[in-house]
Amino acid sequence: MNEFVATVVRGLGNGSIYALLALGFVIVYKSMRVISFAQPAFMMAGALLVSYFVLSMNFFLAVVVALLLTALLGAGVERLALRPMIGKPVFVIAIITLGVDIVVRTVVNAFIGLDIRQMGDPWGLQQVDVLGVKVDQRHLATLVTTLIVVAALFAFYRWSRTGLAMRAASSDQEVALAQGVSVGRVFSLSWALAAALAGLAGVFLSTGIGLEQNLWLTALKALPVIILGGLDSLGGAVVAGLSIGVVEALVGSYGGDLHPIFGGDFFLVVPYLLMLLVLLVRPYGLFGTKEVERI
């Protein structure tokens, strides 16, 4: 039983990372109707900046500074590469973000180098006893931080003026423009937010195990998450993120007895299989808005 609970907590920890990443995807999607494939690059950039800043300052301060810079990077990318493409087919814009990802990630990789970079975080791989169950501190920290960030984000969208503007722009850009919402600012802000969230996910992903070049593949797991939760649903992203994390952890722990043809790392493809299954039944994900077609 204890092992089961520990596995679930590990899954929730990883799941919160997916949720953070997925939130970034959803925020960009809501504002631009585009899936930004540049999120992995922002994730790596955020983690990389922290790993350099901790050499000269406190970890938490380093995270704040690094995330601000990552947000700036996101807004800059949007201004340079995405703004000229407004009104073009979404597929084209999505491919541009792929190009951005390749460029930014290559630069980041050059700074990471071939070795694992330490994050200098206070948690490391230490464990803590919660009601008799041993869980990694970093997983708890991730979960708690994610919950706080998600609550803040929802409050921002629900109650702040800018959040209202963002919701308006997402539901109809032209009408929002006519009401005096600066849609361009909304785009910048969305990209900045998405980049910062990805950066935060990157920081938590590389706490304990350290930052290395291949970590970017984890960011792609947010794709099945957003498809599962529905591309335009913030709540869906969180729910789907946490559940995929838990399912993945459970398969990782207990799936070893499956047929050897699945291989020991079968849990790595579980998110994608889940996504395929759900899509066969519900083409717009669990919480996504069904597209209404006008003739």
Binding site for another protein (CB under 8 A): 34-35, 81, 84-85, 88, 90-92, 94-96, 98-103, 106-107, 109-110, 114, 220, 223-224, 226-227, 231, 261-263, 265-266, 268-269, 272-273, 275-276, 279-280, 283-284, 291, 293, 295
Q: Any idea how long the chain is?
A: 295
Q: Which residue lies nearer to another protein by CB, 156 or 284?
A: 284
Residue 84: CB minimum distance to another protein, A:
5
Residue 19: CB minimum distance to another protein, A:
17
Structure tokens at 86: 């407004």
Residue 81: CB minimum distance to another protein, A:
5
Q: Which residue lies nearer to another protein by CB, 110 or 131?
A: 110
Q: What whole-number distance in Å separates Cα of residue 271 and Cα of residue 93?
A: 25
Residue 39: CB minimum distance to another protein, A:
12
Q: Which of 118, 110, 105 shows the shortest CA–CA distance to 50?
A: 118
Residue 35: CB minimum distance to another protein, A:
5
Q: Which residues, 6+ apart, have CB-to-CB distance to 90 below 8 Å?
A: 32, 33, 34
Residue 168: CB minimum distance to another protein, A:
22
Q: What whole-number distance in Å separates Cα of residue 292 and Cα of residue 276?
A: 22
Q: Which residues, 6+ apart, have CB-to-CB distance to 170 below 8 Å?
A: 30, 31, 232
Q: Exposure string (b/e) for 203-241, b if CB count within 10 Å is 16 or more?
A: bbbbbbeebbbebbebbebbbbbbbbbbbbbbebbbbbb
Q: Which residue lies nearer to another protein by CB, 177 or 268?
A: 268
Q: Which residue lies nearer to another protein by CB, 29 or 53?
A: 29
Q: Which residue lies nearer to another protein by CB, 55 or 280?
A: 280
Q: Which residue lies nearer to another protein by CB, 15 or 224?
A: 224
In this structure, are residues 62 and 53 in contact, taking their beta carbons and an 8 Å threshold? yes
Residue 132: CB minimum distance to another protein, A:
36
Q: DSSP letters along 176-205, please?
A: HHHTT--HHHHHHHHHHHHHHHHHHHHHHH
211 φ/ψ sector (left φ>0, alpha ψ -120 to 50, else beta)? beta
Q: What whole-number distance in Å separates Cα of residue 230 and Cα of residue 222?
A: 12
In this structure, are residues 127 and 135 in contact, taking their beta carbons and an 8 Å threshold? yes
Q: Which residue lies nearer to another protein by CB, 102 or 175?
A: 102
Q: Which residue lies nearer to another protein by CB, 155 or 276?
A: 276
Residue 187: CB minimum distance to another protein, A:
16
